[in-house]
Amino acid sequence: MTATPVSLGRRLRGRQNQNLWFWVFVGPFVIGLVVFIYVPIAWSIYLSFFDAYNTVTPTRFVGLGNYADMMRDEAFRSSLSTFVVFAAGIVPTTFALSLLTALLVARTRVMQTFFRSVFFLPTACSYVVAALIWKMSIFAGVPSGMVNAGLALAGHDAIPFLSLTRPPWYWLVIVSARLWLQVGFYMILFLAALQRISPTLYEAAAIDGAGSWQQFRFITLPQLRPTSAAVLLLLLINAFQAFDEFYNILSTFGQYPPYARPPLVYLYYVALGQGQDFGHGSAGAVILTLVIALSALVFNRFVSLRGES
């Protein structure tokens, strides 16, 4: 270090340069957080009050006009409501499957590490890559697609999974891709929590004559409550933020169909596609953020109430 005045410089650096090292390690992340998260959020809110076509330094203030437009926009409303339904379906499904896999893996005595890795591996896969494999290989609409080849063996005609809307086969494609990608991650969270439950509880329960369902219901589930709450919240936010697999599976040449269109995909086409309408796009993003925040709050209240009772 250079010869700065001893007392002040040293005091700022703290004992053994603790403060200095604190900022060396934390500083880059704080800067990144501010530059890439907080400034954009603030800017986005700012833009949402302006007429901002093809500019991010708008001049025409429109007040709440963009918000009113977005709330009147039938396509945006329908994407929001679709994803409320989607969240209501996918959150419990992912939750149940992750918990089930975690229980199975935790009970396995042979090759536990192997199974744990196998179920966790998809998490490391890129959403885009998985989406393309689902779209172009497994659920390809051509007779040579994997599932269609299986159907052909059973004497069934090929199904154009992504082209038909009645029945909505595209949900099968999207939901299965999403489950494959996500279940492993939440399984690991559950597995970690399961291993923290003291075995003495189960031993005591066994002595009291509790069966395996009772053990699960009265020991495992209550002990998992903090983890369950976190997992549910993460899943909820995740469901509303859906983008990658939807966009890569369903978007066609320059457009995205009006069904199974996540709010983010719709906003992407409004603000970041050919239409560079940042005012309405930002207003939509703020509305979506509020919807997520509100759902999370309501949900959190619900979980904590149950915790107290």
Partner 1 sequence: MSERTVIGQLGRRQLLALGGTAAGMGALAACGGNTGRSTSTTSGGTSATSGSSGSSSAGGAKPTLQQWYHQYGEAGTQQAVEGYAKAYPDADVKVTWKPGDYDQTTAASLLTSSGPDVFEYGNGPTIDMIKGGQVADLTGLLGDADSDFNPAVLKRMTYDGKLWAVPQVIDMQILVYRKSMFDKAGVKPPETIDELITAATALTTDKVKGLFLGNDGGVGLMGAPMLFSAGLDYLDETGGFGFDTDSAVAAFGKLREMFTSKYLLQAAPKDWYDASALTSGLTAMQFTGLWTFPSIEKEIQDDYGAIPWPAMPGGKKSVVVGAYGSCVNAKSANVEAAKAFVKWLWVDQTDKQLDFATAYGFHIPARASLVPQAKTLQSGPAKDAAAAAQEFGHAQNSILWTPKCATAFGDMMTNIVKNGADAKAEIAKVKAIAEAEVKRVLG
Binding stretches for partner 1 (CB under 8 A): 35-37, 39-45, 47, 53-57, 74-75, 126-128, 132, 140-142, 144-145, 158, 160, 162-166, 237, 240-241, 243-244, 247-248, 251-259, 264, 267-278, 281-282, 285-286, 288-289, 292
Residue type, 191: L
Q: State both tokens at 62.
A: 């429109």
Tell me whether residue 191 or residue 292 sits nearer to partner 1 (CB atom): 292
Nearer to partner 1, 215 or 238 (CB): 238
Q: How does strand 50-51 pair with strand 60-61? A: antiparallel
Q: Hey, is 256 helix, strand or coil?
A: coil
From 279, 97, 297, select the one nearest 186 (Cα to Cα): 97
DSSP structural state of residue 17: G
Q: What is the DSSP string of 106-160?
A: HH--SSHHHHHHHHHGGGGS-HHHHHHHIIIIIT-SSTTSHHHHHHHHTTPPP--
User: Between 105 and 130, whose beta carbon lies closer to partner 1?
Assistant: 130
Q: Whole-number minimum distance, CB 128 to partner 1, in Å?
A: 5
Of 255, 280, 302, nearest to 68 by C-alpha is 280
Nearer to partner 1, 14 or 257 (CB): 257
Which residue number, 31 or 56, has a Cβ lying nearer to partner 1? 56
User: What is the DSSP code string of 48-85?
Assistant: TTEE-BT-SS--EE-TTHHHHHHHH-HHHHHHHHHHHH
